[in-house]
Amino acid sequence: MKTVARKPYEPQSQEMARVLIRKIRNGEYAPGERLESIRTLAERYGVGRQVISSAFSLMAKQNYIYTVHGSGTYVNAKLKVGLYYRLGWFINQLNPGSSGTTLREAFMYAVRRHFTLIPGNNYEENFTLADWLMRKNDLDGVIVSGIVDDELLKYPKRHKIPYMVLGNYDISSDHPQATYDVYSDYYETMLALFREHRWQSFGVIGGSPDMRADREAMAGIRDAIRDAGTDLSRGCFETSWDDGFKEVTAVLRNNPEVLIFCGSHWLGLLKYCERYPDFRRPTVVINNSQNPEVPEQLYDYVFKLKINSGERKIVHQAIDNLIDSLKQ
């Protein structure tokens, strides 16, 4: 009789499913092959029949097996030996709550490709992508987002773990990367806004120049304002890594007609309003991705980027590229 080493916090059925999935992945159970009965497996591993039954249920939901009434339980014939059909999505150092919609879309699309998506992140935690991948040794590949650099990607590259970077980062071209056209998106959106409203003085607060996507966004905004016919010398461009309070204070000294926020730096304006409740704020424009979080009295217009609606396409592209590389 075999015994199954189980983690203290892991249900026995989940551990049993993991053992059987590993056997399918290794080819010990071939695609299309019938598994032993629940009774046989329960006796072999020294567990109750309900444990095996629950393990089968978990495996069926993940498309590893199916049951034919009166015949038995079979391995999905379309599976490929060597794959767990599990992908990781690791968000490095950023709060995963900011990627909620993206993660949900990724999870649903992975299921349609017959893969399970396993999320991971180290926000306010003391471990790295390498640590996480060493623990999650049943992943076929991983999508990486958050704060990404070449150092972070050394481990999957060195250990030949398939990976895909999602987002615009200053990393080596050796790393596969699914990117957004950030510059064009901000350029087209801001050009239309400035042509419509004819603002002549302005303040723009964007993200850190250390981030490629933030630099591309700011470049698109700057060029759009110029091409709309507004004198750039009558404006102020600020970048911030934190809440933006310092930058808001600096911009408001110039009494701009409009104040534009690319991201969550509207928090700086909220704090400014709380500190100086009687000040007359300018017209405020925010990104629609931030809209649900921002108090209505704090802004006047919302701009919508193609990134926000087109993110679904980029997420699909990243998953497709990763899965296709696995199946080659």
Neighbours of 159 (CB within 10 A): 10
Work out how many domains the chain is built from and give that number.
3
Residue 1, pLDDT > 90, answer no
Q: Which residue has the tokens 């959106």?
A: 189
Residue 6, pLDDT > 60, answer no
| Residues facing residue 87 across a β-bridge | 117, 141
Q: Comparing 80-94, 104-118, 196-210, 299-313, which segment has the lowest mean pLDDT?
A: 299-313
The reported pLDDT for the residue numbered 77 is 94
Q: What is the pTM of this model?
A: 0.81
> Is the pLDDT higher at 101 or at 143?
143
Q: Which residue has the tokens 């999602």?
A: 166
pLDDT tens for residues 10-41? 789 999 999 999 999 999 999 999 999 999 99
Q: Is residue 175 located within the same domain as residue 315?
A: yes
Average pLDDT (144-172) is 95
Structure tokens at 25: 């992945």
Q: Is residue 220 located within the same domain as residue 160?
A: no
Average pLDDT (137-154) is 96
Average pLDDT (39-46) is 95
Q: Is residue 167 located within the same domain as residue 186?
A: no
Say which residues have a Cβ less than 8 Å from residue 143's Cβ, sequence separation at least 6: 87, 88, 89, 90, 106, 163, 164, 165, 166, 318, 319, 322
pLDDT mean across residues, the chain: 92
Note down the domain range covering 243.
182-287
Residue 2, pLDDT > 90, answer no
pLDDT tens for residues 52-91? 999 999 999 999 999 999 899 999 999 999 999 999 999 9
CATH of the domain at 244: 3.40.50.2300
Q: Is residue 275 located within the same domain as residue 187?
A: yes
Residue 8, pLDDT > 80, answer no
In a domain, 217, yes or no: yes
Buried residues in 196-231 as b, exposed as e (16+ CB within 10 A): eeebebbbbbbbeeebbbbbbbbebbbbbbeebebe
Residue 149, pLDDT > 70, answer yes
In a domain, 293, yes or no: no
Phi, psi (degrees; rounded to nearest 5) at 240: -145, 145
In a domain, 198, yes or no: yes
Q: Report the C-alpha gap between 67 and 73 in whole angstroms.
A: 4
In a domain, 300, yes or no: no
Q: Is residue 175 located within the same domain as residue 198?
A: no
The reported pLDDT for the residue numbered 237 is 97
Q: Report the C-alpha gap between 25 and 31 in whole angstroms.
A: 9
Q: Is the dihedral of CA 102, 265, 187, 145 positive or negative?
A: negative
Q: Report the C-alpha gap between 13 and 195 in whole angstroms.
A: 62
Residue 7, pLDDT > 60, answer no
In which band, very low, low, confident or very high, does the pLDDT at 328 lie, cut at 50, 70 and 90? confident
